[in-house]
Structure 1
C-alpha cells in the first residue's frame, strides 16, 4: 500500500509539471455507467437556458404574437399538432415525431425561482434539489445518486468532451471522467517516467495513456483504439456515445452550450439547435436496433422571458421545456398542460408559468426503465419530490 501511495504522489507531481487543470481526470461533460439490463438513458444538459417558447412554439396561443412581434414571425416553424410547432432548425427530428420517438414537456422547470442565475440554475438542475443548494462539500448529482441505487451497477470508463464540470455526475458512485483537448508539455524523460508509473498502477493507466496519446496525435483514444471526438463535434460525440451504449454503458450524460440568446435570437439559436439535432440523430443512427431501448432527455436550467426584448432576443426566465427522444418513448405528443400567455397567466408578469417540476420526468424514467421503487427515488435520488401521477412516457 505504501509503495502504491508513493507512486501516486510521484505521478501527481510529474503531471503538475506539464498538465493544465483541465487535462486532469475531473468531472466533465460526458460520462457512462455500466448497468445490467437493456434499457439506456441519455441526459443532455443544455447550458444557457433554452427558449422553449421558440423551440416548441405555441402558435395556438392568441397572445404569442403580441409578446413576440418579431420572433413569432421568424424561422417559420413546422406544425406538430393543432397548437404547437417545431423550430425549423430541428426539422431533421420530424421523422422521430411522426414515428412517436420524440415528444416534449412544455411549461416545466426546476424549483429555482427569481434570481435567474445560470450558475445556480444549472446547479439546481444537476443536483436535483429543491430550495437551498447544498454546501460545496455535500453536493452530488441526481444521475450519480441513480447509479448508486441500482443493484449490480459497475463503474464504466467515462470520457469528457469539453471542459465544464458536470455536477450531475458528482457523488459516491465511482464514475471516471476525462477532459480532452489540452496539451501536455512533457519532456521525453517525463513521458518515460509516466509510462513506467502507469504500467505499475492500473488505476491511472487508462487515463494517463489517453493524455499521452493526445499530446502526440491531437486526439484521444479509448481502450478500443477509437477516437474520442472533440466537444464541438456533436455528431461525432453522439456516435461515440452510441458505441459505448452498445457495449457496457447504460447511462450517459453530456452538455451542449450556446442557449443564452439575449440578442438576435432568430440567428443565435440556430447553431445550438443544429448541434442538438446532430447529437440526437447520431445517437439514433449509431445505436441501430438498440435505439428502441433508449431514452434521451434534453434539459435546461430555466426558460426565457415570454416577451422578446429590444434586441430581438429574450432574457432569463422561468418556465422552460424538456425535449424527449428515443425508441422507448411514447412520443408524438406534448406531455402536460399549458398555462397560457395572457398577462395574468405569466409568472411574475414576465415568464411562462411552470406547471410541473422537471425532476418528475427523469424520476418516472428511473422507475419505468430501471425498476427503481418510487419510495427510493423520492427518498434517495430526488429528496422531497412528489412524483405525482405517472405521465406514461414509455411504451
Structure 2
C-alpha cells in the first residue's frame, strides 16, 4: 500500500464501518477474573410483561377454558402437555428435549412486591433492584451486583451486563463489564494487520487492541489489500456488512457462553417484545422463538461439564390479565411465570402454589394471584449455587424477603 494512513485519519473515517471504534470491544480492554467455584448463572430480563398463562397453560384448572378458551392441545400446531395440568406453548417446542432431560422448569404464580400501578418502568426497576420499595438513591443498586459484593473472593469484572442499555440489575459498587453486539464488527486478517500498524504508534492503544482482539473472536477471510485509503475504508465497510450470523439474541448468548466457559460466572441481558396488548397469537410466538434460540445457543456454547454447572433464569416485571381483552391480547397484570433452564437445574416440573383461576381467586378479580415472591425463588437458587447464607440473602441481596421453604432447584 503506497499511501500513508495515519491513526488520526483512520479514526476520523470510523463512521464508514458502522460503529464507534472507541465503543467497540475491539478497542476496549476487557479483563476477566474468577469467582469462587464452578457454578454459572445467566439472568435474562423479559421486558414488557410476559403472559405466563399463555406460555405455560394451566388447562387443568376448570376456569381456564372460560378465560382463555381451548388450551390448544388438539390444534394442528399443538401445545405440548407437560404434566397433565400444564401445557407448553407450541413456540417453545424446541425446548421440549430439555424438559424431558430435567433441564427445563417453571415457577408459576410468582411476582415481585410491585402491585397495582402496572407500570413497565416501575415494575422493571423493582425487578432489577430486588427490593420491596425504593428509598434513597443508594437503594437503586441491582441485586446481582449485591450478590457479587457478598461473594468473598469476587474481583472486578466477574460479571457481564450485555446489551445496548446499562442494566440496573448489575449496577453497584462491585465492578462489572459490558458488551453489546452492535459494537462488534468483523475484521479480516488484513484489516487487523492494518489496524496493528496504526496502533503501533501508541503503545497503550496497541495494548488495548491486542487484549480486546483476544476475546472479540473476529475471524474473517484473507482479503488482498491494495489501493488507496478510500479502498481500505470501503473494504472495512463491506467487512462489517457481512457481520456475524444469527440474531442479536443468539450473538448475545454465544458471547455470554464464551465468557462463562472461561473465568466469568454471572451474565445478564434482556429480551424485549413481551408487551402483548393486541393479537397475542401473533405477537407472542416471535418473542418465545427468541427465548428458545437464546437458551439453546447457551446450551450449545456451554457444552458438557460447563452446561452441567449452569442455571439460566428468565424473569419478567409482571404477568398479564387472566382474561383476553377485546383486541385479542392481554393487559398488564400481576402474578407471572419464571422460566428456568440449565444442566444444573432439577427441572421437568412446574413449581409453585397454584391459586386457581376462578374469579374470586384472582387478584383484584382480574390477575393471577401471586403466591410466592420471585425473590425467594431466586434467593434459594443463589443459596444453592453460590453458597450465600439465607441471612445474607434476606438482609443484603433481597432485603426483607421471606425465603420460605426450599424448592430444591438444583441437582
Tell me by how many angstroms 1:205 deviates.
Answer: 8.7
Tell me by how many angstroms 1:198 deviates.
Answer: 4.2
Q: Distance in 1 between matches of 2:55 and 2:238?
A: 36
Q: Gaps spanning 5+ residues in structure 1: where? A: 1-13, 26-30, 185-190, 221-226
In structure 2, do the counterparts of structure 1 residues 304 and 63 end up closer, same or farther at CA, with 3 Å as the change threshold?
A: same
Tell me by how many angstroms 1:231 deviates.
Answer: 9.6
Match of 2:155 in 1: 154
Q: Distance in 2 between matches of 1:145 and 1:229?
A: 34
Match of 1:370 in 2: 386
Matches within 5 A, 1:325-336: 325-336=341-352
Match of 2:248 in 1: 233
Native 8 Å contact 1:107 1:321 kept in 2: yes
Q: Gaps spanning 5+ residues in structure 2: where? A: 1-10, 26-30, 186-196, 219-232
Q: Distance in 2 between matches of 1:98 and 1:83?
A: 16
Larger Rg: 2
Identify the match of residue 379 of structure 1 among 395, 398, 401.
395
Q: Distance in 2 between matches of 1:228 and 1:142?
A: 34
Match of 1:53 in 2: 53
Native 8 Å contact 2:313 2:341 kept in 1: yes
Matches within 5 A, 1:86-97: 86-97=88-99
3-state SS of the aligned residue for 1:181?
A: helix
CA shift digits 1:124-171 (9 cap, x unpaired): 00000102x244454110001001110111223766653222100100
Tell me by how many angstroms 1:177 deviates.
Answer: 1.4
Q: Distance in 1 between matches of 2:92 and 2:24?
A: 35
In structure 2, do the counterparts of structure 1 residues 125 and 33 end up closer, same or farther at CA, with 3 Å as the change threshold?
A: farther
In structure 2, do the counterparts of structure 1 residues 155 and 145 end up closer, same or farther at CA, with 3 Å as the change threshold?
A: same
Q: Distance in 2 between matches of 1:209 and 1:100?
A: 36
Normalising by structure 1, report the TM-score.
0.81
In structure 2, do the counterparts of structure 1 residues 172 and 254 end up closer, same or farther at CA, with 3 Å as the change threshold?
A: same
Native 8 Å contact 2:32 2:158 kept in 1: yes
Tell me by how many angstroms 1:114 deviates.
Answer: 0.5
CA shift digits 1:197-235 (9 cap, x unpaired): 843996x99679999x9x956899xxxxxx996994322
Identify the match of residue 319 of structure 2 among 299, 303, 310.
303
In structure 2, do the counterparts of structure 1 residues 49 and 254 end up closer, same or farther at CA, with 3 Å as the change threshold?
A: same
Match of 1:164 in 2: 165
In structure 2, do the counterparts of structure 1 residues 156 and 182 end up closer, same or farther at CA, with 3 Å as the change threshold?
A: closer
Matches within 5 A, 1:280-295: 280-289=295-304, 290-295=306-311
In structure 2, do the counterparts of structure 1 residues 380 and 285 end up closer, same or farther at CA, with 3 Å as the change threshold?
A: same
Match of 1:6 in 2: none
Residue 339 (str. 1) matches residue 355 (str. 2): yes
Q: Distance in 1 between matches of 2:49 and 2:81?
A: 23
In structure 2, do the counterparts of structure 1 residues 157 and 385 end up closer, same or farther at CA, with 3 Å as the change threshold?
A: closer
Tell me by how many angstroms 1:71 deviates.
Answer: 7.6
In structure 2, do the counterparts of structure 1 residues 62 and 251 end up closer, same or farther at CA, with 3 Å as the change threshold?
A: same
Q: Distance in 2 between matches of 1:194 and 1:351?
A: 62
Native 8 Å contact 1:32 1:250 kept in 2: no
Residue 264 (str. 1) matches residue 279 (str. 2): yes
Normalising by structure 2, report the TM-score.
0.78
Match of 1:62 in 2: 62
Match of 1:242 in 2: 257
In structure 2, do the counterparts of structure 1 residues 210 and 248 end up closer, same or farther at CA, with 3 Å as the change threshold?
A: closer
Match of 2:205 in 1: 199
Q: Distance in 2 between matches of 1:318 and 1:364?
A: 22
